């Protein structure tokens, strides 16, 4: 009697969900490090850095908050990444062991909503940067000044450019992200270094930055410190859950640990001060929560 092989359920299995064999994994520690380098640098991170000083921390205390938060994140990321590297499976398949094939769809949907929100924030911030650059180098861009739904047309066009860039990269598959980040990751580091140099020159060196005293003491310091750590962890908490989506493409556990060590805590500690020095103006530290000038609340000494 001949037994015919069972066809896989298309709702549970496809090429994207299949385990990635060891010999087909394209990433080493450098690929993962550059991906993290690109992700760690974003407007939300810079806002958080400047926001810590606006809350009353000194520059040294800000670095302490960042160090603790990213140490916790690094440990969580590495532990959650182990299963992805070991089995070559994505997050949505791994959680079937806990939630079942049907129940696992709920956390995946919830994670998708978090991703939509995060993409929206980052795309809007990036579009504002593109819009400002185009208005500077191409004055005719400003003529698209009519407004629609609270945004100018040149703002909408800049947002469309960002969407198109993301769509073009994503259309080539997740492996193309690794290749793109090999260039974009180091480039972001170079741009971040330039921003740090500019910020320090505007702020008259690191002296004024580190001269700002702490305004928090006792229980107020402890509570705000815990809130700052929790806030930074919260920016990456959802990604810590589905990090197997990346680690499944990494060749070894050693590669994923080294890549995340360099790309996550090390990069954050080196370039987090960008957010502090870029928002230091004439002895004041500002929340950069709004990209329009004159609408941030200063911390005065």
Q: For residue 295, what pLDDT is reported? A: 40
Span 186-190, average pLDDT: 76
Res 10 pLDDT > 80: no
Do the domain assignments include residue 262? yes
Query: The domain spanning residue 207 has which CATH number?
Result: 1.10.4160.10
DSSP state letters, 128-196: HHHHHHHHHH-GGGGG---EETTEEHHHHHHHHHHHHHHHHHHTT-HHHHHHHHHHHHHHHHHHHHHHH
Res 293 pLDDT > 70: no
Do the domain assignments include residue 134? no
Res 294 pLDDT > 50: no
The structure's pTM equals: 0.74
| Collapsed DSSP state (helix, strand, coil) of residue 218 | helix
Q: For residue 105, what pLDDT is reported? A: 87
Span 19-45, average pLDDT: 83
Q: For residue 85, what pLDDT is reported? A: 93
Do the domain assignments include residue 231? yes
DSSP state of 11: T
The residue with greater pLDDT, 189 or 160, is: 160
pLDDT tens digits, 228-276:
899 888 888 888 888 998 899 999 999 999 999 998 888 887 776 655 5
CA dist 135 and 227 (Å) reads: 38
Beta-strand runs (E) in the chain: 147-148, 151-152, 280-281, 284-286, 298-299
Do the domain assignments include residue 244? yes
Q: For residue 299, what pLDDT is reported? A: 45
Do the domain assignments include residue 143? no
Do the domain assignments include residue 119? no
Do the domain assignments include residue 129? no
**How many domains is the chain built from?**
1
Say what percent of the chain tops pLDDT 70. Answer: 84
| Tokens at 32, concatenated | 């993962």
Distances (CA, A) of 45 to 39, 166, 255: 10, 20, 25
Do the domain assignments include residue 268? yes
Would you say 280 and 209 are in contact if contact means Cβ atoms under 8 Å apart? yes
Q: Could you tell me the residue range of the domain that residue 196 belongs to?
A: 24-85+92-100+174-299
Q: For residue 287, what pLDDT is reported? A: 46
């Amino acid at each position: 009697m001949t037994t015919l092989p069972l066809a896989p359920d298309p709702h549970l299995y496809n090429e994207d969900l299949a385990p990635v064999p060891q010999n087909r994994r394209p990433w080493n520690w450098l690929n993962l490090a550059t991906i993290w380098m690109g992700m760690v640098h974003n407007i939300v991170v810079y806002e958080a850095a400047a926001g810590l000083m606006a809350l009353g921390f000194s520059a040294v205390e800000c670095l302490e908050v960042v160090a603790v938060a990213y140490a916790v994140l690094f440990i969580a990321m590495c532990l959650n990444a182990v299963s992805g590297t070991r089995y070559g499976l994505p997050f949505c398949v791994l959680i079937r062991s806990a939630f079942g094939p049907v129940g696992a769809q709920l956390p995946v949907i919830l994670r998708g909503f978090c991703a939509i929100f995060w993409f929206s924030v980052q795309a809007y911030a990036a579009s504002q940067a593109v819009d400002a650059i185009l208005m500077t180098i191409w004055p005719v861009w400003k003529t698209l000044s009519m407004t629609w739904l609270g945004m100018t047309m040149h703002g909408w066009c800049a947002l469309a450019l960002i969407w198109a860039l993301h769509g073009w990269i994503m259309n080539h598959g997740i492996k193309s992200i690794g290749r793109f980040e090999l260039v974009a990751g180091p480039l972001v580091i170079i741009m971040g270094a330039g921003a740090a140099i500019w910020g320090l020159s505007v702020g008259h060196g690191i002296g004024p930055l580190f001269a700002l005293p702490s305004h928090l003491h006792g229980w107020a310091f402890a509570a705000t410190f815990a809130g700052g750590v929790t806030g930074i962890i919260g920016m990456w908490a959802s990604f810590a859950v589905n990090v197997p989506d990346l680690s499944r493409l990494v060749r070894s556990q050693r590669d994923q640990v080294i890549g995340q060590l360099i790309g996550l805590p090390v990069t954050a500690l080196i370039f987090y001060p960008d957010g502090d020095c870029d928002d230091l103006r004439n002895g004041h530290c500002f929340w950069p929560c709004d990209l329009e000038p004159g609408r941030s609340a200063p911390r005065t000494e």
